[in-house]
Amino acid sequence: MKNNRLFKAIMIGGVLAGAMAFTSVQAAAADLKIGVLVADVSGEEAQGFRAYYENYIADNYDVEFVYTDALEDAAGEKAAIEKFVSQGCQAIISLSSSDRATQLDTCEEYGVYYAIASGVLDDELFEAYKGYEYFAGQVGPSNATEFEAGVKMGEFFKEQGVTSVAMYGAFIPNPMHVFRAAGVIAGLGDTYGGTNDMGGMIGQIFADQKVDPAKVEGDVELCAYLQGYGDTTTDEINAVVAKEPEAFLSVGMATTFFTQILNEAGIPFADIDSFTEANGAAIKEGQLVYLAGKYSSSIGPVFALIKNAVDGNVIRDEEGNAPSFSQGYLVATDGASFDEYYVADNGDTPIYDKETLDTIIGEDVTYDDVKALVEAN
């Protein structure tokens, strides 16, 4: 009996030791460990980005990605960075923008490289932080690009002859959404608080913390407006549907939250999101008539900046500061134009595939190399 117990104990101990050894081998497998800060875990764009990193980049490079849950505030972002550091992450990629200044300060404090993959710092903030040692750079649509994306959406519907629209402000006062919303109003030919100047409009929207329909004036009426997502959102979107607008213009996330409702209501809608399968279905079979989007592998260059930095080649611009590259949006207005981008950037054949990324990963890569590639795509 005693021998039997001893045998069992040895067996259990052996299995545990084996499991621990296996785990340590697994943990040691990745040469580079990157923590990714995420605010949105459900959105089409966020899931496309994640799939690219986890299913393509992680398969083709010696890297492990660790993700946060949905971050809601600056404190959560700071705590997540500290947790990543304790888990041995050498770098942080940010897809969360509650407080990027604190993110940068925290990464600088702990000595981990940091890059922004969604949106960019505003000019003032970038000036303040571009010299940080561990700031590896930012790649994404600039604020002017965000505004322009909104303008084009507004102009599209203005040309269609709409006279009454509803609008979803997503997560205003998120700067990205503020710039897009201001652009939409300008594109519709309307003014906000008496101006259609970008600076004047965004200043007022930041101050209002929302788009106030009463301040929108012009030929196209803003008959309903909502923003955010919470307990009352369904009531608010139902109120929008009841007002029967000719179009529903969103500056982000509408395809995630409202596709079904808008399809059922027969209200044509537009969004700024990404080229994913679900959005393809919405534009081919539903009421999505305008999509300005990024493709999922557009975050490839950010990975390259981080990998170079960790490997010792910290890319810097001509003045020795962190690089900032602007990306534009692609626009689809029907199934064919959607497929043009979606098919080109899909699964095992992303636009930023390994062969392409390898041209900007390495000890000899320069700022100009990365700039040329980003601008070419």
Partner 1 sequence: MSIRRKVIGTLAIPVIVGVILEAICLAHGQNVITNMKSFNNFVVYTAIVMITTMALSINLNSGRFDFSLGSMAALSAVIGAKISYALLGGGSGSAYLMLAITIASGALLGLASGCVYVILRIPPIITSLGVTLIYEGVLYTITGGKYVMTEVQNVSMSGFVGTWIHAAVLILLIVVFVIFLFDHTRFGYNYNALRSGQKVAVNTGIREVPNAVGCYVVCGALMGIVGFLNAARNTNINGGQLNFGSIAIMFTAFLPMFIGSYIGRFSNDKLGYLLAAVCMSLLNSTFAVFSNSITASVQSIINAVLLVVFLIYLNNEDLLTRLFVTRGKQAGA
**Which chain residues interact with partner 1 by CB under 8 A?**
41-42, 69-70, 210, 213-214, 224-226, 228, 230-236, 238-244, 256-261, 264-265, 278
Q: State which residue, 93 or 253, has the beta carbon closest to partner 1.
A: 253
Least distance from partner 1 to the Cβ atom of residue 353, Å: 27
Q: State which residue, 33 or 210, has the beta carbon closest to partner 1.
A: 210
- Cβ-Cβ contacts under 8 Å for 90 (sequence gap 6 or more): 32, 33, 34, 112, 113, 310
Least distance from partner 1 to the Cβ atom of residue 120, Å: 26
Least distance from partner 1 to the Cβ atom of residue 255, Å: 10
Please spell the DSSP secondary structure of 227-288, one letter per residue: -S-STTHHHHHHHHHHT--SEEEESSSHHHHTHHHHHHHT--EEEEEE--HHHHHHHHHSSE
Decide: 248 and 226 in contact? Cβ < 8 Å: no
Decide: 175 and 353 in contact? Cβ < 8 Å: no
Least distance from partner 1 to the Cβ atom of residue 69, Å: 5
Q: State which residue, 130 or 215, has the beta carbon closest to partner 1.
A: 215
Least distance from partner 1 to the Cβ atom of residue 283, Å: 15
Q: State which residue, 226 or 251, has the beta carbon closest to partner 1.
A: 226
Residue 333's CB: how many other CB atoms inside 10 A?
15
Output phi, psi for 108, to 5 deg.
-65, -40
Nearest to 284 by CA among 246, 245, 333, 248: 333
Least distance from partner 1 to the Cβ atom of residue 75, Å: 14
Q: State which residue, 254 or 305, has the beta carbon closest to partner 1.
A: 254
In the chain, the N- to C-terminal Cα span, in Å, equals 71
DSSP-derived pairing of the beta strands 288-294 and 330-332: antiparallel
DSSP-derived pairing of the beta strands 91-95 and 32-38: parallel
Nearest to 118 by CA among 7, 33, 40: 40
Least distance from partner 1 to the Cβ atom of residue 136, Å: 28
As a whole number of angstroms, the distance between CA 195 and CA 7 comes to 82
As a whole number of angstroms, the distance between CA 53 and CA 40 comes to 16
- For the chain, the C-alpha Rg in angstroms (whole number) is 23
Q: State which residue, 175 or 245, has the beta carbon closest to partner 1.
A: 245
Least distance from partner 1 to the Cβ atom of residue 230, Å: 6
Rounded to 10 degrees, the C-alpha dihedral 329/344/157/186 comes to 0
Q: State which residue, 202 or 265, has the beta carbon closest to partner 1.
A: 265
Least distance from partner 1 to the Cβ atom of residue 108, Å: 29
Q: How many helices (H) and strands (E) does the chain have?
A: 17, 14
Q: State which residue, 234 or 349, has the beta carbon closest to partner 1.
A: 234
- Cβ-Cβ contacts under 8 Å for 159 (sequence gap 6 or more): none
Q: State which residue, 47 or 138, has the beta carbon closest to partner 1.
A: 47
